[in-house]
Structure 1
């Protein structure tokens, strides 16, 4: 997983050269990286290091700052939870660009607290609360202007929930799973079937995996005679 995070298999040779070499600090390449970000949005691919390179270029060159690009980077990072991608991106936004030439008001300051809250909910596995807030009227602008353009965003969030479920449960009620995935009825049944899970009597069975299986661990220590005599001698002298 670490290897695919550092160098995703979908990353092109051109992007690899930009991300891994000194050219990542060349402001003339920012448009290439921005185009790559929008490719990720359309294709459901993800490359955190390439997106971080954009944010670093914005730090060094405030006049390049594009708030829509930043928001899209944060939206993609949301779906990487529980990895720290979102916080890595946030760490590069501490210094707000003061020299950016924007034709319209910057939407990021008003959306950033909301995006942080959504990330916090995902990180704490509060999936029903995430969906409630995400589907609320207050976030209609976020959905209509941003996440609607991010192909597969909601399914990617569901995969975040699935990773938590697989690591925690061997059996879970269908109602509880539905609240985690924001799915119900035939949509939930189709999702469970696609995962290859079994649902009977409103209970979904999670196949065994290394995370949801409790196995006793036997710890055996080998103490040599010379070590034992030292312990006995120390005990006798106290």
Structure 2
């Protein structure tokens, strides 16, 4: 899972992109092409740079004539798999104003796909993983799959990484069938994926054991309060005064 430092400054970010994201040229519209090319590099290489993608959306906000709906959709697809970071909502916050469609021969796909992407995000964020895969595989999302996520290398595995992060935090053991529904995997594919994670499976019961980690270990905590007598006297005196007033 992506760390906060890697989120802010991905190790794959080049010096040129760093200068565009952090420097005085951040809002120069002539640089939008460079940032868009960088986005498509992320799509092809499984890399991710939220701040660079947010810079594109900000440029679109300031320069509506630069707006490219395909770029926006791809940014949202990449942000979808960044949970638990709030990237998707950050991107949505920059989409309040969109220019009217200037070319009726090429309708804007964003108004149609945005509700689907938002629903997918909500399902993933609320850990409703089987429902996520059902919607993603549905006819309703066919355009999203056929035209966009098919080009995003490793998209489904990135979603599974989000699932694994949640499972590791919530379970010590989980049924194989249930885990498969979360990951949208079954049979040999599920077995190979679990083995890749380094998790063990009980062949007799099919139960998957999740290795211990700080999030899934239940540890009792003893809280000891040291109250001095003068403090206790003040509490009792305050209670007596309140009783008399009543």
With normalisation by structure 1, the TM-score equals 0.94
Matched residue, 2:73: 71
Cα distance in 2 for partners of 1:97, 1:24 equals 22
Residue 216 (structure 1) aligned with residue 220 (structure 2): yes
Contact 1:72 1:146 in 2 (8 A): yes
Contact 2:101 2:108 in 1 (8 A): no
With normalisation by structure 2, the TM-score equals 0.91
Cα distance in 2 for partners of 1:140, 1:49 equals 29
Cα distance in 1 for partners of 2:101, 2:20 equals 25
Matched residue, 1:171: 173
Matched residue, 1:13: 15
Query: 1:233: Cα distance to partner?
Result: 5.0
| Equivalent residue in structure 2 for 1:85, among 84, 87, 93 | 87
Matched residue, 2:193: 191
Contact 1:74 1:115 in 2 (8 A): yes
Query: 1:226: Cα distance to partner?
Result: 4.2
Cα distance in 2 for partners of 1:227, 1:43 equals 63
Cα distance in 1 for partners of 2:169, 2:101 equals 46
Matches within 5 A, 1:153-172: 153-172=155-174
Residue 180 (structure 1) aligned with residue 218 (structure 2): no
CA, structure 1 residues 99+187, in 2 after alignment: closer, same or farther (shift >3 Å)? closer
Cα distance in 1 for partners of 2:235, 2:184 equals 60
Q: CA RMSD in A?
A: 1.7
Contact 1:79 1:160 in 2 (8 A): yes
Cα distance in 2 for partners of 1:20, 1:158 equals 31
CA, structure 1 residues 9+165, in 2 after alignment: closer, same or farther (shift >3 Å)? same
Matches within 5 A, 1:1-238: 1-98=3-100, 104-200=106-202, 201-231=205-235, 233-234=237-238
Structure 1: 4+ residue segments shifted above 6 A: none
| Count of residues in correspondence between the two structures | 238
Q: Secondary structure at the match of 2:143?
A: helix
CA, structure 1 residues 31+236, in 2 after alignment: closer, same or farther (shift >3 Å)? same
Structure 1: tracts of 5 or more residues without a match:
none
